[in-house]
Amino acid sequence: MAHLIGGYAFDAARRITGTRDIWANPGQTLTDRQLDCVLWAARGKTDYEISVILNISHETVIQHLKHARERYGVRKRAMLAVRALYDGLISFADILRY
């Protein structure tokens, strides 16, 4: 609930101040598998660990994270996690769950 209220508060503040959203990227979303990989990466798992957890190949994890970074135009996995948090695709509760 707090996450939802916080999002509305930030949007209202942007409208009031006339600040544009520098991260606005309408229509950008991640596939379910890309999102799974991003979430486990946000939890601090390596590509290999993610591959074991999700029962997919190491190379597949690398490709999912690469495509997710490309969609958001970021180079680092930390920024990818931040963008997913910012867009509401994952939450701090999701990250801290395991």
**Encoding tokens for residue 12?**
């209202």
- 37, 68 Cβ separation under 8 angstroms: yes
Q: Does domain 27-96 have CATH number 1.10.10.10?
A: yes
Break the chain into its structural domains and give their ranges: 27-96
Give CA 80 to chain center in angstroms.
5
- For residue range 45-73, list pLDDT tens digits in order: 999 999 999 999 999 999 999 999 999 99
Give me the mean pLDDT over the 4-12 stretch: 61
- pTM, 2 dp: 0.73
- C-alpha 81/C-alpha 77 separation (Å) is 6
- 48, 65 Cβ separation under 8 angstroms: no
Residue 98 or 88, more confident: 88
